Amino acid sequence: MSGAPDPVPVSVPDPSHGTLHGLGLGPGDPELMTLKADRLIRSCPVIAYPAPDHGESFARSIAAGSIPVGVEEIPIVIPMRAARAPAQAVYDRAAAVIAARLEAGLDVAVLCEGDPFFYGSFMYLFARLSGRFRTQVAPGVSALTASAAVAGRPLAARDAGLAVLPGTMPEAELAARLRVMTAAGGGAAILKVGRRLPRLRALLEAEGLARRAVYVGHATLKGQVVAPLAEAPAEAPYFSMILVPGTDAHVG
């Protein structure tokens, strides 16, 4: 006996089952959808997408021009609040519904604004289903890169780093991470701004970073706003971001 550990069993998906596709749709402008996402949306018989408690699904609105008439649509209604327990129960139920379609041999396309693995809701379905079914992920243009593009501000260059930080992070921790990254000439992006804008603006002012910070709201959409942080609106939408570009002299 060699004493070597037993090999880890590998799950082999049933070939009769359908394929689960996680499709990144980009930040909102339908023209920023990839050709691959468009092709798969048009070919899959089942389309699933996150939807709010009330109102239109943002993900579906991006892909609306690609969704064929007559396909089955599965809205995944997710409570728009910070508590994770209710949302995780929603993903459990959605995974069960999607699994039934996959077991019936149907391919399922799950729409995700931005990129599926960059703060994307698809990752929660991936965790529940990828071990049982063939799964393919098509990346999308992220809100981070879209915001930098519409602001015309390179974020980091050469050896500089880039910190991507959620605005929901405790203030002391957020400030500490900003100090570390920007002290070395790197850049930072603060996501999930929304109603936290006044607090985040005050924090950046206290850290001496507000003068080079840029506010971007609804990047690539009709209501897009790009402004120096000091001139940002009093209220920010959920889809907004604060960019603190790095200080490399060669890229401005």
pTM score over 0.85: yes
pLDDT, residue 155, reads: 85
Q: Are 237 and 218 in contact (CB under 8 A)?
A: yes
Q: How far apart are CA 215 and CA 100, in angstroms?
A: 43
Q: What are 123-150's pLDDT values in tens digits?
A: 999 999 999 999 999 999 999 999 999 9
> Which whole number is the average pLDDT over 37-52?
97
Domains of the chain: 20-141 (3.40.1010.10), 144-244 (3.30.950.10)
pLDDT class of 27 with cuts at 50, 70, 90: very high
pLDDT at 78 over 90: no
pLDDT, residue 247, reads: 79
In order of 78, 120, 183, 192, 210, the CA distances from 207 in angstroms are 36, 30, 11, 19, 8
Say how many C-beta atoms besides its own lie within 10 A of residue 13's C-beta: 16
Going by C-alpha positions, the residue among 26, 25, 24 that lies closest to residue 219 is 26
φ, ψ dihedrals at 58, nearest 5°: -65, -45
Going by C-alpha positions, the residue among 17, 225, 224 that lies closest to residue 133 is 17
Arithmetic mean of pLDDT over the chain: 90
Indicate the DSSP class of residue 114.
B
Q: How far apart are CA 124 and CA 127, in angstroms?
A: 5
pLDDT at 1 over 50: no
Q: Where do we find the tokens 């139920």?
A: 93
3-class secondary structure, 29: coil
pLDDT, residue 86, reads: 57
> Which whole number is the average pLDDT over 179-203?
93
Q: What is the per-residue burial (b if ≥16 Cβ within 10 Å, else e) of 100-129?
A: ebbeeebbbbbbbbbbbbbbbbbbbbbebb
pLDDT, residue 132, reads: 94
Q: What are 83-127's pLDDT values in tens digits?
A: 555 578 899 999 999 999 999 999 999 999 999 999 999 999 999
pLDDT, residue 54, reads: 81
φ, ψ dihedrals at 7, nearest 5°: -65, 145
